[in-house]
Amino acid sequence: MLEIKHLTKRYGRNEAVLQGLDLHVEGNSVVAIVGASGAGKSTLLRCINRLVEPSSGSIKLNGHELVNLKGGDLRRARRKIGMVFQGFNLLDRLTVMENVLAGRLGYLSLYQAVMRRYPPADIERAFTLMERVGIAHYANKRADELSGGERQRVGVVRALMQEPDVLLADEPTASLDPRTSEQIMVLLQSLASELSLPVLINIHNVTQAKAYTERIVGLRHGKMIFDGVPADFNQDALDAIYGGIESPDESSGDGDAEQGALP
Ligand SMILES: Nc1ncnc2c1ncn2[C@@H]1O[C@H](COP(=O)(O)OP(=O)(O)OP(=O)(O)O)[C@@H](O)[C@H]1O
């Protein structure tokens, strides 16, 4: 379980971008984090995996406090936090298998890591997961030879190789075409249930958030102003979250009408 209490993040002397956020997420639930650009969605995920230092508050994963961890304790805690990125963050010149196995690096000794000596159990797990998401036949292909959807599957498997207690996905579908993004959302949803894993997904596409998650958290200026099931995420909620703010999709003119109004 992920328990966030009174989480505040201030960059330098600027106004706090997260303002005393409280959020509890149980295993197995898929939560969409929505909000206009700059609302604090990425900062929230980055505080959880401690890529960003929270200014104050508490973040507990299965009872273990993550805030203030340092050195080896932080590295060990991070192994339990899987992360999936918008841009996939793969090593393009390496094979799919090598990228996937990189998810185990945090568990290897320095010698094993330098020599890339993965225990047989890791390789077996890699194949099982790659088969599960339909990329096992690409194991020896270079990552840059795959399509966006396939690359994101590699990113998901790499994160799952960590045997995470929580999976964080920062705009995991934003670089994908609509059909492929739906497939990735379905995949995340099924994996959460199969692995009993809480999954937090930052997402701009409200239609997908409603269709593929069971809870939506809406942020505005670093405050949670909606927390409920998709059925309750109505036009009022949308207006409260985005009202008066030009959405990035509208401003970039790429025609994603799904953010500004409900279908
Ligand atoms: N490293 C940083 N230093 C200073 N300010 C930052 C930093 N990272 C983010 N911010 C600011 O914090 C605010 C929240 O940013 P954040 O990236 O968390 O928003 P977001 O909701 O994820 O936006 P987007 O949807 O555009 O990714 C923004 O005003 C941003 O400019």
Mean pLDDT, each 10-residue run in order, the chain (263 residues): 97 95 92 96 96 96 94 93 94 94 88 84 95 95 96 96 96 93 94 94 95 96 96 94 65 37 42
CA of 40 to the centre of ligand 1 (A): 6
CB 125 within 8 A of CB 161: yes
Q: d(Cα 55, Cα 174) in Å, to the nearest integer?
A: 29
Measure 42 CA to ligand 1 centroid, in angstroms. 7
Reduced to 3 states (helix: H, G, I; strand: E, B; else coil), residue 77 is helix
Q: Tokens 């995920």 correspond to what residue?
A: 45
Whole-angstrom Cα distance, residue 72 to residue 218? 34
Q: Which fold has domain 25-50+79-251?
A: Rossmann fold (3.40.50)
Pocket test for ligand 1, best of 7, 11, 223, 247 (most atoms within 8 A of CB): 11
H or E segment to which residue 9 belongs:
strand 2-9
> Which atom of ligand 1 approaches the CA of 248 most closely?
26
Residues 151-165: b if buried by 16+ CB within 10 A, e if exposed: bbbbbbbbbbbbebb
What residue spans define the domains of the chain?
A: 25-50+79-251
What are the helix (H) ranges across the chain? 41-48, 71-79, 96-101, 110-115, 120-133, 148-161, 178-195, 206-212, 235-242, 248-252
Residue 199 token pair:
């999954």
pLDDT at 246: 57
Sort strands 64-65 and 81-85 into parallel, antiparallel or unpaired.
unpaired
Q: How far is the CA of 71 from the centre of ligand 1 (A)?
A: 26
Containing 4, the helix (H) or strand (E) segment is: strand 2-9
- Residue 189 Cα to ligand 1 midpoint, Å, equals 26
Which residues contact ligand 1 via a Cβ below 6 A?
A: 11, 17, 35, 37-43
Among candidate residues 36, 42, 41, 33, the one with its CA nearest the CA of residue 248 = 36
Q: Decide if 33 contacts 237 (C-beta within 8 A).
A: no
Kindly give the distance from the C-alpha atom of residue 59 to the centroid of ligand 1, in angstroms, as a whole number. Answer: 19
The two three-digit tokens of residue 167, written as one number: 């999976």
pTM confidence score: 0.91
ipTM for the complex shown: 0.97
Q: Please give the pLDDT value at position 214.
A: 94
